[in-house]
Structure 1
């Protein structure tokens, strides 16, 4: 009998220790702490990095997945137009994660424009009401370590990267050699469908932006790997239906003088710093000429030193 009680006690102690091993580190190694210590990785550090910016110091907020923070050169916008931009994209972000980033960013920022890169609209969005999602969220609430595991691993695996207000400065060159990718008669891209849940989050992002006085704009970054003409048609149709301004930069690679042999870091998936500079110059002119609010930022910035 005593032996059975001892085994039960030992099992209880073991479970308690296991619980504490998961619970305590997760409470300590949060993205906020990792960011304060300059140890946070890209994925989990996005929100606290934006929140660490001074209040009302962002004129143009860029959200989306990795196509966003590799295509908008925040340095160029600041130097050329005086526009204080911030790339708040997240690697492999879903639309709901972009909404979460936007929601948190708008707690302390009042951007004039929110610029959303569209690639994540084609990424499958888990149903937040599904049983698996509810269970996962519950476990994350109890054991933050499970959610932030990549944060506590980052001190050991993170490589130094140059980042300016969210923009990833990447000088690597791996050419795209596939030729024209926006031809109307080309083989259609496999995944063209935009899920209804993604559309709902798109509407929520637009509504939230407008409620805070920001203009919500969709854009597609130059990317042969992620875009084709059929995607362009679908996104144009969606933007028109939702009454959202939209520019597909893939249609203007010649105007931008994009050289796919030298302006991509990974064979046409993302732009490198040279391609981003060209894309940002083109997009900056488009925004300034099309939207008076952006033009006003350019003029008012002459007397602003923030």
Structure 2
């Protein structure tokens, strides 16, 4: 085979690969809508419906969104913020959420809401290593472009309506993403965990996505606040300093309840449900009370309690309190 024939063969082979990949891409594009859940409920197949109840809220009615992992949905109670200050907020937290999934979830938020403040719970910034982060980032890109990769297991439960491509995310979550727990199991060592030595490196990929997330929020007119709720399983002085360095770099405020309790009265003997990993309702109430005070002092947020358009929030608060026997 001469050089000319060899070049021709290579071009043909390359063309076949391009055609094959193009066909695969078109098929993915066509098939993906079938697998996308048609409602934002667990029954419909949505992932972590608790974090996605905001789809069912009235458009552009929520002023504060918070993103993070289970530490967040155990520590921030939007209904407490509502009852005390009339602020509308939603906790978009998922178990083991990382900054990559948080970024794409925030992009979804901006399709239907215009928050004035985005809160990032920073426990999610400490991952295993760079290789895993690159893999997670790539997977999130794929799942964002082709939700089929997220919902491929739904093939066993597909129904007639799944072939209509009509998505109607109308389900609401009464607690606005907060998950209630009243059990108390103390952490008797208190804040001694802050002296522990753990990996305090924030990978370059995580830093890149944190910057992207902050820029996404600011480009949509939202301020950004970093928060770290008490966490005996992950918090250390070195990690606090690593986050503080990023906060200073990106010029965003950072509240760390692991290094300063801000006169909240927080007590590890009464305010955790599992020995220090997550807070209980008592702990969340203290954290949320301080957050409300901080928001009053640092932001200009609207009190909607006298606005009839937000009356459902009053109903949700009353229902939540009665259901959990808090009244």
TM-score by length of 1: 0.75
The residue aligned with 1:12 is none
Give the number of equivalent residue pairs.
262
The residue aligned with 2:284 is 276
Name the CA distance, whole Å, in 2 between partners of 1:66 and 1:58.
Answer: 21
Name the CA distance, whole Å, in 2 between partners of 1:145 and 1:259.
Answer: 41
SS in 2 for 1:208: helix
Residue-by-residue CA offset, 1:68-88 (whole Å, 9 max, x unaligned): 111111111000010011001
5 Å matches for 1:1-306?
30-33=36-39, 35=41, 39=43, 43-45=47-49, 48-124=52-128, 126-127=133-134, 133=139, 145-146=151-152, 164-181=175-192, 186-188=195-197, 190-253=198-261, 255-289=263-297, 291-294=298-301, 297-298=302-303, 301-305=304-308, 306=310
SS in 1 for 2:75: coil
Deviation at residue 123 of structure 1 after TM alignment: 2.1
Instruction: Return closer, same or farther for 1:182/1:293 CA change in 2, 3 Å cut-off.
Output: farther
Name the CA distance, whole Å, in 1 between partners of 2:272 and 2:151.
Answer: 35
Deviation at residue 143 of structure 1 after TM alignment: 6.0
Deviation at residue 179 of structure 1 after TM alignment: 2.5
Q: Is the 8 A contact 2:32 2:148 kept in 1?
A: no
Name the CA distance, whole Å, in 2 between partners of 1:96 and 1:44.
Answer: 16
Residue-by-residue CA offset, 1:164-210 (whole Å, 9 max, x unaligned): 01111111222111222365xx232x121101111111111111111
Name the CA distance, whole Å, in 2 between partners of 1:210 and 1:134.
Answer: 22
Residue-by-residue CA offset, 1:203-242 (whole Å, 9 max, x unaligned): 1111111111110111111112221222111111111012
Deviation at residue 141 of structure 1 after TM alignment: 5.2
SS in 2 for 1:62: strand
SS in 2 for 1:207: helix
The residue aligned with 1:155 is none
Residue-by-residue CA offset, 1:243-285 (whole Å, 9 max, x unaligned): 1111112223372111212211111111111100000101211
Instruction: Return closer, same or farther for 1:260/1:92 CA change in 2, 3 Å cut-off.
Output: same
SS in 1 for 2:190: coil
**Divergent runs of 4+, >3 A:** 25-34, 40-44, 132-149
Q: Is the 8 A contact 1:174 1:261 kept in 2?
A: yes
Q: Is the 8 A contact 1:112 1:293 kept in 2?
A: no
What are the ranges of 5 or more consecutive residues in structure 2 without an aligned counterpart? 1-30, 159-172, 311-327
Q: Is the 8 A contact 1:62 1:69 kept in 2?
A: no
Q: C-alpha root-mean-square deviation of aligned residues, in Å?
A: 3.3
Q: Is the 8 A contact 1:64 1:116 kept in 2?
A: yes
